[in-house]
Amino acid sequence: MTNFLGLRLQCRVPILVCVPSTSGYSKTVSRGSSRKWNGGGTTRASRRLVLGLGPSFLAQFMSMVGTVGGKTFIASASLKGASSVEEILKNAEWPEQFPFKEEDFQRFDESSDSLFYEAPRFVTHIDEPAITALTKYYSKVFPPSNSPGVSILDLCSSWVSHFPTGYKQERVVGLGMNEEELKRNLVLTEYVVQDLNLNPRLPFEDNSFDVITNVVSVDYLTKPLDIFKEMCRILKPGGLAIMSFSNRCFWTKAISIWTSTGDTDHALIVGSYFHYARGFEPPQAVDISPNPGRSDPMYIVYSRKLSRA
């Protein structure tokens, strides 16, 4: 399927899950050392679902695809010939103002995220080769395991963070929406349950983290600039932020500028968050896809907090 820009739509149809209601919250939990792993089971859900697409669904879909405010910016970047994820941020020419509009951050499903994430999903959201590629990437760029004073934050975390096996730091915080998932994440030393779309303020002190990760979830953030500014605030000078993404998503919960564009555009979108948040080095993109065309692609957009920010 192509969109109004002639770009391929690469998000696959999401798993749609109906969950009952719950409340909004922000909760921090510190973890003692005596926890037991319950097994949990990595059920791998089918990622394809045949939907009966009604006229209203299609109407909204077409309107989301055709009216996004960031289209001029993305189209002009594409026209400049950078056709790959690795190229798009090289010599990026950023408009003076953040090019995206409010409607670019709307979602097909605007109901509370706490409803959507109420039920735990003990699944993996990318395939094994993509996970392996991400873990390998982390092992190259993370501070060595057990480095004194090192703190890591995994944003939009779940029951897995894909860190290298046995990787440990004094403080590894996970922030996400589902407490059951976070409780089972063995790499975390503490976790926070918080809806970042309701409250983008990160509940941490200035200059407190060495690394921030976010795996296949940056597309669910409706206030990304606020969150990237917060990331800058809480990173130590020189601290590293690693945003990774593939071409899958919960389509109804991803922002419209994401669902209406492709992988290369996604790198530009995430790069723009770093750029306009200010306080970061120019963002860079890496394609770590393990078997292009044969398994899930995997991309990284990363940046470091300026040492003088």
Report, in Å, the least distance between residue 175 CB and ligand SAM: 6
Q: Cβ(278)–Cβ(308) under 8 Å? A: no
Q: Cβ(267)–Cβ(299) under 8 Å? A: yes
Which residue pairs from 32-40 have beta carbons closer than 8 angstroms and sit at least 24 positions apart in sequence? 35/186, 37/184, 37/186, 38/184, 40/122, 40/159, 40/184
> Which residues neighbour 294 within 8 Å (Cβ) at sequence distance 6 or greater?
none
Out of 65, 153, 160, 268, the residue judged to bind ligand SAM by CB under 6 A: 160
| 77 versus 118: smaller Cβ distance to ligand SAM | 118
Report, in Å, the least distance between residue 113 CB and ligand SAM: 4
Q: x/- string (CB under 6 A) for ligand SAM, residues 174-193? A: --xxx---------------
| 113 versus 263: smaller Cβ distance to ligand SAM | 113
Cα–Cα nearest to 241, from 263, 264, 214:
214
Instruction: Work out whether 287 is an interface residue with ligand SAM (CB under 6 A).
Output: no
Instruction: Work out whether 196 is an interface residue with ligand SAM (CB under 6 A).
Output: yes
Instruction: Work out whether 113 is an interface residue with ligand SAM (CB under 6 A).
Output: yes
Instruction: Work out whether 197 is an interface residue with ligand SAM (CB under 6 A).
Output: yes
Instruction: Supply φ then ψ for residue 28, to 5 degrees.
Output: -115, 135
Distance (Å) of CA 37 to CA 173, 186, 295, 299: 18, 8, 29, 30
Number of residues that bind ligand SAM (CB under 6 A): 17
Q: Which residues of this chain interact with ligand SAM, rule CB under 6 A?
A: 113, 117, 125, 156-158, 160, 176-178, 195-197, 215-217, 220
